[in-house]
Structure formats: C-alpha cells, structure tokens
Amino acid sequence: MNNEQRHEFFSILRDNNPKPTTDLNYDSPFELLISVILSAQATDVNVNKATDKLYSNANTPENILALGEDKLKSYIRNIGLFRKKSIYIIKTCSQLIKLHNSNVPGNRKDLESLPGVGRKTANVILNIVFKHPVIAVDTHIFRLANRTGLAKSKTVYTVEDQLTKSISKTFIDNAHHWLIWHGRHICKARNPLCKQCAVSHVCDYHNNKQEHSRS
C-alpha cells in the first residue's frame, strides 16, 4: 500500500467513524488501566460485565488493594487467567500508591514497570489517556496490517514501528481504534468481509484476490 492509498484508507475509516473510542467501560485512567490488564485473552464484553460490578465498589488503587486478592477474584472469575490477573492487579495497585501517588504514570518506562503491563497495554494508556502518537498492536491489528499492506512483518514490534512511522499525524491519534474495530468486525481472521469493506479497493489482499480471479 502506497502513501496515497494509505491516506485514502484512513480517510474512509475516519469518515465512517469520526469519534472512535474503546469498547471498554471506564471513568478514569486507573479504571482503563485495570480494564486493559483484564482484557488480555478476554473479550471487552466480559471485561465490562466484571468491571461494572467491581468499579461500583472499588475503583481506586487503595480500594482494590483493600479488597484483597480473594475478593478481587470473585469479581473477575469469569475472565480468562483471572487468578494471575488478580495477582498483577493487586501488585500494580500497591506500586501505584507507593511510587506514583496513586496516579497512572504517563511514560512508557513507568507503565511497563507495573505488573501485568506490557508494551501493548502501555501503548493503549499512552494513546487514549495521554494522547501519545502510538499504536497498540493486538492480534486484530497485526493481522489487518499484514493482510491489507499497511505493514509487513512477522513480528508485532516491527508492525508497530512501521505503522507508527507510516500513518500521518492527521490520523495517528485515532488509528488504533479504527484498526481494532475494522479487524474485529470486517477484516476477520477466517472470513474477511471484503464485500462489505469500505476500503477493499486499496487493500493488497483484496486486490491480489481480484487479480488471481481474472488470471
């Protein structure tokens, strides 16, 4: 995909969804952080079901720490890897209180030092909360980027690097949301909905498929 096609790709996604946002429910940077930690190998729907109850009772590092690990598990037990995640969350709450005055830090180093927070989670927080021009590459974005030609690599980090460098400042703030939505609902893993895709005409996968059908 060349620069002109890339611009058209994101222009169309922007026009179709001018004010994108995450599907996770949250009212503070801390709530978003906990929700993103919980979202690993879990659906946003299941995370929201758990956190809607959790946050109505405990939505600060101090309150969750006061719950304790066992009580926290009772709120999140329907989420994959809930035992490990409960340990991470308790440790993260403790670290936020001790080192960051209970605030979510706005830099990569401090974010990635929190238990349960890797590069993808840090990028989500940096992008959504602190408006950094970064892309959190999950399985949907990784697949979509390689399939469409937005990026080409076998590693997540290289795809992230290529996307960050190639997406213009006009689109970078919201690109993460647009790509995730498109990957989940249109550019699906097994059966991409090319006939319903508004950007198929600039997609390498679709255009290559068209070429093969004509030959």
Q: Is 110 a catalytic residue?
A: no
Contact (CB, 8 A) for 136 and 176 = yes
Tens digit of each residue's pLDDT (9 = 90 or more) over 62-80: 999 999 999 999 999 999 9
Extended strands (E) in 19-143: none
Domains (ranges, CATH) in the chain? 3-19+135-214 (1.10.1670.10), 29-128 (1.10.340.30)
What is the SS3 assignment for 6? helix
Q: 151 is written with which tokens?
A: 């990026």
Check whether 214 has a pLDDT greater than 90: no
Q: Rounded to whole angstroms, how far apart are CA atoms 134 and 172?
A: 7
Check whether 215 has a pLDDT greater than 60: no
The residue from 71, 138, 169, 195 that is catalytic is: 138
Torsional sign, CA 119, 143, 208, 201: negative
Q: Is 120 a catalytic residue?
A: yes
Helices 156-166 and 119-128, interaxial angle, to 10°?
20
Q: What is the pLDDT of residue 213?
A: 64
Check whether 152 has a pLDDT greater than 80: yes
pLDDT band (50, 70, 90) for residue 51: very high
Beta-carbon contacts of residue 110 (< 8 Å; ≥ 6 apart) = 99, 100
In this structure, what DSSP letter does residue 25 have?
A: -
Check whether 7 has a pLDDT greater than 70: yes
pTM of this prediction?
0.90
The residue from 73, 120, 131, 188 that is catalytic is: 120
